[in-house]
Amino acid sequence: MMLFLFPFNIKINMLQNFKKYLIKNENAPAYPPYHVGDYLEHYFFKFYLKHQEKFELLKYKYIPALWTDIYLYSPFLIDQLQKDLNELDENLYYFTVSQHDDAPYQSLPKNTIKFSAGGNIPNCTPIPLICSPIPNIPNCNEKDIFCSFVGSITQPIQGWGKISYDIRMKMLETLVNNPNYVLKPKHWSPEIKQDRKDLFLDLTSRSKFTLCPRGYGASSFRLYESIQLKSVPIYIYYQKPHLPFSSKINWNDIAILINENEISSIDERLKSISDEKYQQMVNYGQEIYPKFFTLEGMCVNILEDLQNL
């Protein structure tokens, strides 16, 4: 069931022609399976409404399209969406927020900031690919696994899917015979079953390091899940890392950043990290997680970044 979220009591200077794109599929299965409540785009839209007076003072005006629900569940709206985008004044400044890996792939006005969690589009501004926090986090202080990976290796063998597949296969082939690495790959499925979710939470919470290769999109939920579970993420990227709020966060103090051409060096890189440095990275992750990697923290930082422009 699709719901229209446009509240008619908001200020009339919001982009009125876009109210038809404020939709939500109530029947979509939770992904990741522990997620509850609003997803990233819906959460930001409600944050915008709550703080609309602050947003109205900005140079940049919000394009309020909920891209993921449109692309996945209402593709009949895509052509009309482009027509409405074409009607926007090219001399004004805009921003939009998206979670979908390929959003927004439409042509937008030249002065548009595209805050993107997916990261596949060019010239986007990274934000974290996150959802609601992991509930009932297990004890994460006992680390009896050096490094682990629980995830899928099969993606559509085309475009970004092929890049993701190649990266993950290279990672697995490099580490499969190393006894310090617990690797639990599977074929990709849109549904994550309970036993698979439990396996991920158990192994990741017990792991000093977690392999976090990019997926079809430039990042993954796993990167931010591992931080919650006090495991240092090993983010494997293609060409350029998709790192949000990098002017505020020292990513080298929270994660190990590996270009896909450097996969063969992973074991050497990890073994070179002292226990003191490792604990500092874990502590830094716990410190910054609520400030940047919760839905509320992300929204606050987007607003702050726009205010500073």
Q: What is the mean pLDDT of each run of 10 residues along the chain (309 residues)?
A: 53 70 84 92 94 94 94 94 94 96 96 97 97 90 96 78 93 97 84 83 96 95 97 97 97 98 98 97 97 98 97
What pLDDT is recorded for position 189? 67
Q: How far from 211 is each of 24, 83, 146, 231, 257, CA to CA, in Å?
A: 32, 42, 11, 10, 10
Report the half-sphere exposure of 88 (CA within 13 A, side-chain side): 26
Residue 87's CB is within 10 A of a number of other CB atoms, namely 10
Q: What are 21-75's pLDDT values in tens digits?
A: 988 888 888 889 899 999 999 999 999 999 999 999 999 999 999 999 999 999 9
Q: How far from 145 is each of 40, 206, 271, CA to CA, in Å?
A: 32, 6, 13
pTM for the full predicted model: 0.94
What pLDDT is recorded for position 8? 45
Q: Residue 68 class from Cβ within 10 Å (0-12 exposed, 13-18 middle, 19+ buried)? A: buried
What pLDDT is recorded for position 29? 80
Cβ contact 106:82 at 8 Å: yes
- Kindly report, as residue ranges, where domains of CATH 3.40.50.2000 are found in the chain: 145-292
Q: What is the mean pLDDT of the chain?
A: 92
Measure CA of the first residue to CA of the last residue in the chain; give whole Å: 39
Q: What share of the chain is helix, strand, coil (3-state, %, to 5)?
A: 40, 15, 45
Select the CATH number that applies to the domain covering 145-292 from these four: 3.20.20.140, 3.40.50.2000, 1.25.40.10, 2.30.110.10: 3.40.50.2000
What pLDDT is recorded for position 12? 46
What pLDDT is recorded for position 18? 87
